Structure 1
Amino acid sequence: MKPCFGYIRVSTQKQGEGVSLEAQKDAITVFASQHNLSVIKWFEEKETAAKRGRPIFNQMLRQLKQGKAAGLIMHKIDRSARNLRDWALVSELPSLGIDIFFATESLDFKSRGGRLAANLQAVIAEDYIFNLREECIKGMTGRLKQGLFPWGAPPGYLNQGGGKPKIPCPKTAPLIKLLFELYASRQYSYNSLLDEMHRRGLRNTRGGKLTLCGLGNILQNPFYIGLMYIKSSGQTYEGIHEPIVPVATWKRVQDIRAERSGPKSTRHNHLLQGIFRCGLCDKAMVPELQKGHVYYRCKQMSCSTKTVREDVLENAILAELRQLQLTAHAAKKVAEAETPDTIVTLDEQRAALSLQIADEERRLDRLEDLVIDGTLSPDAFQRKRHTVQLRVVELRDQLDRMPDSAAAEAYQEKLAELRKSLVLLYENANRAEKRMIIENVWPNRTVSGRKPAFEPYSWVTKVESCVTLLCGAQEWDRGRRGHGIKSYDNSLIQPLFSLLDYVGKSDDHHPEP
């Protein structure tokens, strides 16, 4: 009996759990017994034949060329290869003295007609898989254009079946939102955030701890704000699923991830770590513990900015807060601002936002025309398209957060109370809350020489125009390194309102988290 190898294959792991492999094996066994052949070794693979470089397939070919078997038995031609490169490797075996048999097809590789028939079937198999791939891509693209994600739900969402949007998971969606908020606080590195979220109960699909790669994929995934980014094509689509992360938080996370001087896990975890930058060279001010005191110095050793003690910086922060804090008279003026003007302004702002959204959508159409005309390359189009789509999502989020007249009046009163209590809030805050106050009051915090400098947001510098601004009016604030940040400050200071409520319930200093 001629010794042969038996090769069986299915395209996916799921198919391998069924009867397909066993059916192929039984057919090959029957064929071998009828033709005086003996299967001395089985090679089983669970991978598509359209993919080149299958490890078990290549291992089998190497052993055949080493003379470990005189023949090869497969179920059908499409079980061996569905790409012409791998088929060429199979079809050259007869020239090496190795016989090829197919259990369900009578093909004689020793004759010209048999080889021609086999080659034609191999070409048909490749064409079939190519057409199938195109149809699958067409179907998935159609789903994406409908706002549906045709693959498995990312962490924080649940599948509902084909043709239905993903829905937030009641158990993990709040944890995903918390993950973004914790990282946006600049208090966690990747490693410390992994430990914290594992402690709070966030697990991967296998029930284990998230990996660094998995955490990075979550933090950069725009699916959580309503967009679907397809890495293979570079395209972004608007989804109809419910977002679980605010756009402002997601963008802040992306800014932090893009910075080279992100938060580090240190033994001391200093209060102002990552808060200040050098006003001369824009490098980060790094902390050092020396003789019981924390000093901050410029990361650039040759810079003329000198070391500054942490208590000096904190005293400067308190002094700046006292200057920004409203007096009782000014706070009353803010709280009693005229509401009719506010109502008109809100309507105008909603109309302005709607016009901006329409402009951005028209901009997308113009980008497509530029690609058709050949003025814009496809890669540049995808980058610009992603930026515009992100901007549209941000504008829609701002429009959804616009308050009504009653909410605007309550907002004014809350703002007045907040502006009147800045120093008290800071003095009663714990470490994380102090950092939150600093970052929400001053977008730019620098040290030049030994002198700290602060550039506040407009919401703490304007008094009479606070109603218009804080109810959603557009305001250009200068961000770090002088970049313009177009922000709606009701989302900017909302965390401070929560802190104000908490401090107002108790005069005692609350413990560190």
Structure 2
Amino acid sequence: MKTCFAYIRVSTVKQGDGVSLEAQREAITLFAQRHDIAISKWFEEKETAAKKGRPIFNRMVSELQKGGANGLIAHRIDRGARNFADWARIGELADAGFDIHFATESLDFRSRGGRLAADVQAVVAADYIRNLREECIKGLNGRLKQGFYPFKAPLGYNDNGGGKPKTIDPVRGPLVKTMFELYATGNYSLWSLVPEINGRGLRNERGQPVSKQGVEKMLRNPFYAGIMFVKSSGKSYPGIHKPLISVDLYRKVADIREGRDNKKVTKHGHRYRGLFRCMHCDQAMIPEKQKGRVYYRCQLKPCITKTVREDMIEAEVQSLLKRFVLSDRQVEIIYQKFVAWVEAGQVLDQAEKAPFEIIKLKERLSRLTDKYVDEMIDTEIYQAKKTEILLDTKKWEALAAQTTKKGERLAQIRKFLELVRSLYTQYVSALAEQKREIVKMATSNRLVDRKNIMIEPPEWLLMIESLLDPAYSEQCNTTSRTFDALIEQYESLAQLGNLQKAHQH
């Protein structure tokens, strides 16, 4: 009696849990009984046959070639192979004298006509896979263009079935957002961020702590900012799901990842590292600790600027911030000026600007596409620039949805002024890294001249100061720009305050 291996296969584990494998096993058993064949070994696989490289199939072929049986029995041709590489291996087995049987098809593999018929069926099976793949790609692209993400939801989002957008996971979503915010401070490397976010309770889909590779993948994924990027095609699409983070936060994280913001996490974490430069040689003042004190030194030997103590820098920073401790009367003066501007309609809200900005971005995308069609730019540049335009569009669409009323605008200014007047006290009570962020936000042109420390306020603080000047024109034509600049700083100060509260907690 001849002996044969039996091979049964389904494409997915889910199919294997059903009746498909059992039905194949039954058909092969009946075929073997009718043809007086003994099945010496069963090979069961849950893997697609569209691509070569199936491990169980390869092992079966290897054992056959070593003389483990006289041949093999499969349920149908498409169970054995749906790609030409594996079909060629089956043909080589037949050429080597092994018996090839298919339980549901009457094919004589030893005759020329039988081999030809089997080859035709194998070609049809391979073509079926190609057509199926094309139709699947069409379907996926259609979903993507509609704004749906037809793949597994990233960590922090939940799947809701076909035809429905992903929704934010109420447990893991806020933790993923916190992960982005922590990394955006520049105080964490990937290695230090992983234990921090795991310690806060973030877990992957299997309930395990997230890995460094997992964190890095999430930080690179624009899905969290509302843009769907498909790695296999390199294409980006605007999604209809609710973004977990703002476009600005995503870009800030991207800048840190790419090293574009010059933030470095150092071993000692000196407070003013990289923030002060020598006025004479434009070199960074490098911190070093000696005899319990921190000094910032110009590293260029011939330079007339040598060292300055950290406590001297601290005193100068506090002196500048004290200058902007506003009294109740000063807060009211500035506030009333904005009341007058808003009532007069001189302040154009971001939501009112949004439609015009979105039109401009659509025109930019159209021009970019024209350049790509005319082969003026390559695919990589086109997709990168397209992604940036889509991110900008998402940002303005979010602003357009914020129908800010006059009272809400003025409330933002009131809160902002309260944050400004407390900037000094926040700085004094802040931790070292928060102090560093305040210095970056509330100072500019930070220079050292010999032993003298020179710091200037940034433009937005000078705006505040100018609003207290009685000579400042009530009809200033830059009020919209002024308002936008102050609101942008308000959001940054509010975010800094939230991080400070989180650290205290």
Q: Normalised by the shorter chain, which TM-score bucket? A: 0.7 to 0.9
Query: Letter of the aligned partner of 1:468 in structure 2?
Result: S
Residues 334 and 412 of structure 1 are in contact (CA less than 8 Å); yes or no, is this contact kept in structure 2? no
State the distance in 1 between where 2:280 and 2:112 align: 80
For the pair 1:5 / 2:5, whether they are aligned, the reply is yes
Indicate the residue corresponding to 1:293 in structure 2: 293
Name the SS for the 1:93 alignment partner.
helix
Residues 149 and 228 of structure 1 are in contact (CA less than 8 Å); yes or no, is this contact kept in structure 2? yes
Query: Letter of the aligned partner of 2:53 in structure 1?
Result: G
Indicate the residue corresponding to 1:483 in structure 2: none
Shift of 1:12: 1.7
Indicate the residue corresponding to 1:358 in structure 2: 359
After superposition, give the CA deviation of every residue in 1:467-494 in whole Å (9 maximum; x if it has no partner): 6346426x9xxxxxxxxxxx94343333
* CA RMSD between the two structures: 3.4
Note the 1:178-257 alignment, pairs <5 A.
Answer: 178-257=178-257
For the pair 1:395 / 2:396, whether they are aligned, the reply is yes
Indicate the residue corresponding to 1:335 in structure 2: 335
Q: Which moved more, 1:341-350 or 1:109-118?
A: 341-350
Shift of 1:432: 4.1
For the pair 1:468 / 2:469, whether they are aligned, the reply is no
Note the 1:413-492 alignment, pairs <5 A.
Answer: 413-442=414-443, 457-463=458-464, 464=467, 468-469=480-481, 471-472=483-484, 488-492=488-492
Residues 225 and 391 of structure 2 are in contact (CA less than 8 Å); yes or no, is this contact kept in structure 1? no
Q: Which moved more, 1:334-343 or 1:344-353?
A: 344-353
Name the SS for the 1:49 alignment partner.
coil
Residues 180 and 249 of structure 2 are in contact (CA less than 8 Å); yes or no, is this contact kept in structure 1? yes
Residues 324 and 95 of structure 1, relative CA distance in 2, 3 Å threshold: same
Shift of 1:111: 0.6
Shift of 1:302: 9.5
Residues 74 and 102 of structure 2 are in contact (CA less than 8 Å); yes or no, is this contact kept in structure 1? yes
Q: Which moved more, 1:54-63 or 1:145-154?
A: 54-63
Query: Letter of the aligned partner of 1:181 in structure 2?
Result: E
State the distance in 1 between where 2:126 and 2:453 align: 68
Residues 342 and 468 of structure 1 are in contact (CA less than 8 Å); yes or no, is this contact kept in structure 2? no
Residues 347 and 469 of structure 1, relative CA distance in 2, 3 Å threshold: closer
Query: Letter of the aligned partner of 2:409 in structure 1?
Result: A
Query: Letter of the aligned partner of 1:133 in structure 2?
Result: R
Residues 49 and 82 of structure 1 are in contact (CA less than 8 Å); yes or no, is this contact kept in structure 2? yes
State the distance in 1 between where 2:88 and 2:301 align: 63
Name the SS for the 1:26 alignment partner.
helix
Residues 309 and 9 of structure 1, relative CA distance in 2, 3 Å threshold: farther
State the distance in 2 between where 1:17 and 1:276 align: 65
Name the SS for the 2:347 alignment partner.
helix
Shift of 1:375: 3.5
After superposition, give the CA deviation of every residue in 1:204-228 in whole Å (9 maximum; x if it has no partner): 0001111111111211211112111
Name the SS for the 2:337 alignment partner.
coil
State the distance in 2 between where 1:4 and 1:297 align: 81
Q: Which moved more, 1:279-288 or 1:331-340?
A: 279-288
Residues 303 and 498 of structure 1, relative CA distance in 2, 3 Å threshold: farther
Residues 5 and 73 of structure 2 are in contact (CA less than 8 Å); yes or no, is this contact kept in structure 1? yes
For the pair 1:79 / 2:91, whether they are aligned, the reply is no
Residues 472 and 490 of structure 1 are in contact (CA less than 8 Å); yes or no, is this contact kept in structure 2? no
Residues 189 and 262 of structure 1 are in contact (CA less than 8 Å); yes or no, is this contact kept in structure 2? no
Name the SS for the 2:33 alignment partner.
helix
Query: Letter of the aligned partner of 1:417 in structure 2?
Result: E
Q: Which moved more, 1:391-400 or 1:247-256?
A: 391-400
Query: Letter of the aligned partner of 1:353 in structure 2?
Result: A
State the distance in 1 between where 2:432 and 2:195 align: 20
Q: Which moved more, 1:323-332 or 1:454-463?
A: 323-332
Shift of 1:443: 7.3
Indicate the residue corresponding to 1:116 in structure 2: 116
List alignment gaps of at least 5 residues for structure 1. Answer: 476-486, 503-509
Indicate the residue corresponding to 1:311 in structure 2: 311
After superposition, give the CA deviation of every residue in 1:224-278 in whole Å (9 maximum; x if it has no partner): 1211111111111111111121222222111111118655484x55444566688
Indicate the residue corresponding to 1:481 in structure 2: none
Q: Which moved more, 1:99-108 or 1:394-403?
A: 394-403
Shift of 1:458: 2.5
Residues 276 and 285 of structure 1 are in contact (CA less than 8 Å); yes or no, is this contact kept in structure 2? yes
State the distance in 1 between where 2:77 and 2:240 align: 43
Query: Letter of the aligned partner of 1:382 in structure 2?
Result: Q
Query: Letter of the aligned partner of 2:360 in structure 1?
Result: D
State the distance in 2 between where 1:427 and 1:470 align: 28
Residues 499 and 69 of structure 1, relative CA distance in 2, 3 Å threshold: closer
State the distance in 2 between where 1:169 and 1:410 align: 31
TM-score, length-scaled by structure 2: 0.85
TM-score, length-scaled by structure 1: 0.84
Residues 188 and 265 of structure 1 are in contact (CA less than 8 Å); yes or no, is this contact kept in structure 2? no
List alignment gaps of at least 5 residues for structure 2. Answer: 468-475
Residues 211 and 306 of structure 1, relative CA distance in 2, 3 Å threshold: farther
Indicate the residue corresponding to 1:482 in structure 2: none
Name the SS for the 1:92 alignment partner.
helix
Name the SS for the 2:50 alignment partner.
coil
Name the SS for the 1:43 alignment partner.
strand
Residues 94 and 499 of structure 1, relative CA distance in 2, 3 Å threshold: closer
Q: Which moved more, 1:390-399 or 1:199-208?
A: 390-399
State the distance in 1 between where 2:276 and 2:28 align: 72
Shift of 1:426: 0.5
Residues 383 and 7 of structure 1, relative CA distance in 2, 3 Å threshold: same
Query: Letter of the aligned partner of 1:90 in structure 2?
Result: I
Query: Letter of the aligned partner of 1:385 in structure 2?
Result: K
Indicate the residue corresponding to 1:142 in structure 2: 142
After superposition, give the CA deviation of every residue in 1:117-143 in whole Å (9 maximum; x if it has no partner): 111011101110111111111111111
Indicate the residue corresponding to 1:383 in structure 2: 384
After superposition, give the CA deviation of every residue in 1:12-50 in whole Å (9 maximum; x if it has no partner): 222222232222222222222222222222222222111
Count, aligned residues: 491
Query: Letter of the aligned partner of 1:427 in structure 2?
Result: V
State the distance in 2 between where 1:66 and 1:280 align: 80
Name the SS for the 2:8 alignment partner.
strand
Residues 342 and 467 of structure 1 are in contact (CA less than 8 Å); yes or no, is this contact kept in structure 2? no
Name the SS for the 1:339 alignment partner.
helix
Residues 295 and 308 of structure 2 are in contact (CA less than 8 Å); yes or no, is this contact kept in structure 1? yes
Residues 346 and 402 of structure 1 are in contact (CA less than 8 Å); yes or no, is this contact kept in structure 2? no
Shift of 1:148: 0.9
Indicate the residue corresponding to 2:406 in structure 1: 405
Indicate the residue corresponding to 1:506 in structure 2: none
Residues 44 and 56 of structure 2 are in contact (CA less than 8 Å); yes or no, is this contact kept in structure 1? yes
